[in-house]
Structure 1
Amino acid sequence: MVLDAMLFAVLGISVYTDLKYNKIFNAVLAPAAAAALLGNLYLFGAAGGLDSLKGMMLGMAFLFVPFALGGMGGGDVKLMGVVGAFKGPGFVWTAFICSALAGGLLSLGVMAAEGRLLLRLRAVFYTFLSILGVMPRGLNLLGHPKTGSTGSFPYGVAIAAGTILAYFLAR
């Protein structure tokens, strides 16, 4: 229960800093990871410490490729690792899936707020038709309207929302 409260505190701080500074600070994440590892080791013995370590590594592994491709910051990767360190590998999988769903909904909201949602959906539709090889005759895929950048949003918010959803689903 104490570890859960600590996790929620870390999520709250991370959401705040991600929204205010567009950054999740190592000064929050490093002590949180250490507290999670040591707390699980103390409460559940060597098996708890090992599960905590596995959860941390798995959580970071889930987001490593998007980070490596420039799609998100390192703080997001480390935050998912902290989630895994607190709750273990089984939980971090559910939190990752819920976070991805929350991130998708957030991105739709950002696109809608920027007035680019329909253009993006149209581009996805054209791409899908192109992949299927059923582009209508005379339609030039390169000629569809440019959708422009939708910018970004703080993915720490999606991680926090997904983790909270996963927490309640696990109960």
Structure 2
Amino acid sequence: MWFNFLLVMLLVICVITDIRERKIYNKVIFPTLIIAFLSHLLLGGSKDLFSSVIGFFVGFLILFVPYLLGGMGAGDVKLLALIGALKGSYFVLHSSIYMAIAGGLMAFILLIFQKQLHTTLKSLYYYIYNLKYGIRLPSLINNNDLSNTYPYGTAIATGAIINLLLEGGLHLW
């Protein structure tokens, strides 16, 4: 229950700062990471600490490549890694599936509200169609449109909360 409480409090703080400022702060992530590691060590011994460290690296690796490609912020990577440190590798793997679904839905809704869905789908269709014949055309999407971002920490938090609900672990006290 302690780890669920800590996770939910972390997610609330990170979602608020991510929505308001598009930032997930290290001053929230790193102290919580230390608390997670120490709690696992004190409550479960070295075996739980090892499991927490493995969960950290699994969460980190899930978003590390998208971060390297420029599609993800460093705060998002650290947040998912921290979720893995708090709840373990299986939890973070399952959460990342829900996170991807939530993130895709959020991006789709964003495209609809920004009235870019038609242009994006048309550009994708022409790109794939021309690749079939070995023709590579420049994208119809304006580079300024690609700068539109949204706080992906919300998708990460949504994935973790859905996973908590599905495993019946949303008992905070």
How high is the TM-score relative to the length of structure 2? Answer: 0.89
Cα distance, 1:169–1:90 mapped onto 2, change above 3 Å? same
> Which residue is 1:146 aligned to?
141
Query: Could you tell me how far 1:141 is from its partner in structure 2?
Result: 4.3
* Superposed CA offset, 1:126-151 (max 9, x none): 2232343398xxxx944x74355150
> Which residue is 2:171 aligned to?
none
**Residues 3-18 of structure 1 aligned to structure 2 (within 5 Å):** 3-18=3-18
Query: Could you tell me how far 1:169 is from its partner in structure 2?
Result: 2.2
> Which residue is 1:60 aligned to?
60
Greater RCO, CA 8 A, separation 6+: 2
Query: Could you tell me how far 1:157 is from its partner in structure 2?
Result: 0.5
> Which residue is 2:111 aligned to?
111
In the alignment, the residues of structure 2 paired with residue 87 and residue 146 of structure 1 have an alpha-carbon distance, to the nearest angstrom, of: 40
* Superposed CA offset, 1:66-93 (max 9, x none): 1111111110000001100010011110
Question: What is the number of equivalent residue pairs in this alignment?
Answer: 166
SS at structure 2 position matched to 1:70: coil
* Superposed CA offset, 1:17-50 (max 9, x none): 0011110000000011111111122222211111
What letter matches 2:141 in structure 1? K
> Which residue is 1:99 aligned to?
99
2:164 is the counterpart of 1:164: no
In the alignment, the residues of structure 2 paired with residue 127 and residue 134 of structure 1 have an alpha-carbon distance, to the nearest angstrom, of: 10
What letter matches 2:38 in structure 1? L
Cα distance, 1:145–1:131 mapped onto 2, change above 3 Å? closer
Q: What runs of 5+ residues in structure 2 fail to find an aligned partner?
A: 169-173
Q: What runs of 5+ residues in structure 1 fail to find an aligned partner?
A: none
In the alignment, the residues of structure 2 paired with residue 146 and residue 68 of structure 1 have an alpha-carbon distance, to the nearest angstrom, of: 22
In the alignment, the residues of structure 2 paired with residue 55 and residue 161 of structure 1 have an alpha-carbon distance, to the nearest angstrom, of: 18
The percentage of aligned residue pairs carrying the same residue is 36
* Superposed CA offset, 1:65-122 (max 9, x none): 1111111111000000110001001111011111111111111111111100111111
Task: Give 4+ residue runs of structure 1 displaced > 3 Å after superposition.
Answer: 131-135, 144-148
